Amino acid sequence: MLMRTSDASQIVIIGSGIAGLFCAIRLANAGHFVKVITKQRPIDSSTNWAQGGIAAILDKTDGIGLTSHIEDTLKSGGGQCDISVVNSVINEASDRIQDLLDIGVDFERDVDGEFHLAKEGGHSSRRILHSKDATGKEIERALSQTAEHHENIELMPNNLAIDLIQCEHGNPKAGISGVWCLDQTTQTVMTVHADTLILATGGFGQLWSQTTNPSVATGDGLAMAFRAGAAVKNLAYIQFHPTALAVKSDRPFLITEAMRGEGGVILDKEGLGKWQTQCKENGRIISPEPYSFTLKYSKMGSMATRDIVARAIDRQMKITGDSHAFLVTSHLDESLLNSHFPTISSRL
Ligand SMILES: Cc1cc2nc3c(=O)[nH]c(=O)nc-3n(C[C@H](O)[C@H](O)[C@H](O)COP(=O)(O)OP(=O)(O)OC[C@H]3O[C@@H](n4cnc5c(N)ncnc54)[C@H](O)[C@@H]3O)c2cc1C
């Protein structure tokens, strides 16, 4: 969210996830001086916790690949997509991935040096670039290191933006002249002047008692913008990730969708029992997918989009009274899973 003020000499970005740091580096490379305010350490962000990866068609001349990515996205969007946004995101993806590579992000490659592409829900082919199962950590590492050493960027960690300063209090049209911040080291409130202010403060998953989001995801930027008179829309568009580890802990641990892309299947207790019986009767391990209740909700079963799979699990748990579902991987190659998903593997 960009809040433009009088001229463009002092640029302030709030937030040091992929949105804030990517923007800061682009502006800094173009010769602008940028301050990045962030409430904890620069790496503390949802970005740092992203696991699965980023979908992109890398070859800009691959018309068939681009068309099918656009089609999959529109289908997954259930008629809600803004087609011009879908087109621009998918057509620009290869250039933005190249920007990330130039900044030093290391995506997984095969032995022959080609990118290893994973698959996730709603995608009809493999097109997800990733860094094992810790893609966000790798992206955040490269971005924060680049920003830290960039002569045109000043990182201001442990600074909590509290509110936007309006040029004329109560008159959104007059613009924004800066932001009030709490320096959490000295516990003092300071005024940071900004000619251009960019809010890149991420989401608000912490509104829910159960969330895979980090503690910084409290919707501060959205609230500040709203208080300053900005129009907000589509606040109901919250993504519920279908699979997190169902054990009591400080916060749910996400199990990436790429696990289903590699063949993981969601079963309920009954489906699990039936599948195990069939395996015994056949004397060999068969695919669990036909026993998945998710097939009642979509013919893509466990590989349907997140909204469909999340709703299917929720509905099935309400029908059966179960407290959780199973993500079955025991029919898959264990060493391959361990090597693709080292973070999840070590946590489990
Ligand atoms: C567990 C998990 C797994 C995910 N996996 C994927 C995936 O595989 N693929 C994918 O595309 N997406 C994934 N996502 C979503 C993705 O991580 C986010 O959409 C993306 O990182 C958002 O980036 P951002 O820069 O907008 O926000 P963030 O990365 O959250 O950055 C927001 C920044 O703003 C700062 N901030 C917030 N409020 C203030 C304030 N008041 N003052 C100062 N600073 C403030 C925060 O500290 C933080 O630095 C995942 C998310 C989670 C939580």
What's the pLDDT score for residue 3? Answer: 54
CA of 22 to the centre of ligand 1 (A): 13
Among 263, 262, 274, 255, smallest CA distance to 313 is for 255
- Summarised one tens digit per residue, pLDDT across range 264-307 is 999 999 999 999 999 999 999 999 999 999 999 999 999 999 99
C-beta 21 within 6 A of ligand 1: no
Ligand 1 proximity of 211 Cβ (cutoff 6 Å):
no
- Ligand 1 proximity of 17 Cβ (cutoff 6 Å): yes
49 CA → ligand 1 middle, Å:
8
Give 132 Cα–ligand 1 centroid separation in angstroms. 19
Q: How far is the CA of 15 from the centre of ligand 1 (A)?
A: 9
Calpha distance 221→201 (Å, rounded) = 5
Q: How far is CA 239 from CA 59, 228, 275, in A?
A: 29, 26, 30
Place of tokens 């068939």: 64
Residue in 21, 47, 120, 212 to alter for ligand 1 test, most ligand atoms within 8 A of Cβ: 47
CA gap 338, 331 in Å, rounded: 14
Q: Is the CB of 130 under 6 A from ligand 1?
A: no
Average pLDDT, integer, range 29-50: 97
Of 201, 218, 222, which is best to mutate to test ligand 1, by the most ligand atoms within 8 angstroms of its C-beta? 201
Q: How far is the CA of 219 from the centre of ligand 1 (A)?
A: 11
Provide the CA 295 distance to its chain's centre, in angstroms. Answer: 26
Q: Residue 122 phi/psi, 5° resolution?
A: 85, -10
Give alpha helix (H) positions in the chain: 18-29, 63-76, 83-103, 135-149, 220-227, 258-261, 269-282, 306-320, 334-340, 342-347
Instruction: Verify whether ligand 1 is closer than 6 Å to residue 18 (CB atom).
Output: yes
Catalytically active residues, by annotation: 306
Domains in the chain, CATH or no CATH each:
2-46+143-227 (3.50.50.60), 54-129 (no CATH), 258-347 (3.90.700.10)
Looking from the CA of residue 52, the nearest atom of ligand 1 is 8
Question: Which atom in ligand 1 lies closest to the alpha carbon of residue 219?
Answer: 38
Ligand 1 atom at shortest distance from the alpha carbon of 53: 8
The model's pTM: 0.93
57, 127 contact by CB (below 8 A): yes
Cβ neighbourhood burial of 32 (10 Å; 0-12, 13-18, 19+): middle
pLDDT (0 to 100) of residue 7:
45
| pLDDT tens digits along 142-168 | 999 999 999 999 999 999 999 999 999
Does ligand 1 come within 6 angstroms of the Cβ of 261?
A: no
Per residue in 192-205, pLDDT (tens digit) is 999 999 999 999 99
Burial category of 206 from C-beta neighbours within 10 Å (exposed 0-12, middle 13-18, buried 19 and up)? middle
pLDDT average, residue stretch 72-97: 96
Ligand 1 pocket, residue 264 CB under 6 Å = no
Task: Share the mean pLDDT of the chain.
Answer: 94
Residue 217 CA: distances (Å) to CA of 45, 229, 245:
8, 21, 20
- CA separation for the pair 37, 158 (Å, rounded): 8
Interhelix angle 83-103/18-29, nearest 10 degrees: 70
Protein residue with least CA distance to atom 37, ligand 1: 201
Residue 248 — pLDDT band, cuts 50, 70, 90? confident
Q: Which of 100, 99, 94, 73 minimizes the C-alpha distance to 84? A: 73
Q: What burial letters (b/e) apply to 161-200, b meaning 16+ CB within 10 Å?
A: beebbbeeeeebeebbbbbebbeeeeeeeeebebbbbbbb
Q: Which amino acid is at 203?
A: G
Edge-to-edge strand order for the sheet containing 176-183? 159-166, 176-183, 188-193
Ligand 1 atom closest to residue 214's alpha carbon, by position in its atom list: 53
Residue 4 has pLDDT above 60, yes or no: no
Please tell me if the CB atom of residue 220 comes closer than 6 angstroms to any atom of ligand 1: yes
